[in-house]
Structure 1
């Protein structure tokens, strides 16, 4: 009798451990891409408070981009491209100005990283007049999650930003979220794996009931 109880206890411990690992594995499928926020954007060419030839010929864009990893696991960023564009004369078609390449790096879970840098444009913008310039900021790249399955996600986000034509600063003082644009294949792996894993989890749960 004691031997039978011991064998039953061993089976319960084995199944419970396997169930925990299975739940962790399933949770690893539901990772989210990092939250990207444009904190600052400054275009010296638009700053009319400065004087001199240096201010007029300054084709540099200064930016502060915040990336927040809201997942319980770390993220490795592959090299990502940040494209800066603008809408000349308030048209609907944007004109690319420059591309900034962000090198790959690692980010711990529930941490934020600021990318504060500058990039030189290819030429002087055509000022639309009217007080504000509409800029476009796009970020494209890939991330890999530090988890059991090592899942990867494509990041394609962007936002239109109003910049004051007198100061060269973005109009909105708080950070602006870059939202998903285009069709990023973020759910392909999840849809292909979750159903069988879910069926296996149900089977293990029912099997556990036999020993309660």
Structure 2
């Protein structure tokens, strides 16, 4: 049972990492997850899911035309950032409700707290009203995404061939160098995610981890240079 609980926590971390990238980019991501240290969850059955605070989200869109690069910042308002946070929280709840090892206590009390400090203060003074909760999962994320729309130039040799028209004609075999434009689109991203599991009684932080991931996807460009 202890091994299964640890597996569920590791799986939960994986789902959160994938979800954040899927929200921020339509392209596919390749991620590698390292398992956190072994934790003791034997007495944790009922879990409430708190909020996932947005530390920083920075989106940039770069374009290149005729050798001139321009960077356009993409600003998200508070409601859009809250939507990302709620989407991550919803994925966590879906995962927990699909396993028999933890029971989700559906309550918005912990989600409404502004940050982790507010949660720790509420737990330390036992000021929460939700009953039958053994632990709370919450987190914080930092995300940076850069999308590029550019064009690469290359010199390609084009061969022209015309067969002989008669016995006295040598035909034509000519190679001409020509500049070719190769449009491409790419996305790069960096994700930092902190996730924390806090037991209510006795009050203690059972597990906390900070993970970083990098991501890149490119379509188009010169042959053999896509990644």
- One fold, TM greater than 0.5? no
Larger Rg: 2
Q: TM-score when scaled to structure 1? A: 0.29
Would you tell me which structure has more strand in proportion to its own residues? Answer: 2
Which structure has the highest helix share of the two? 1
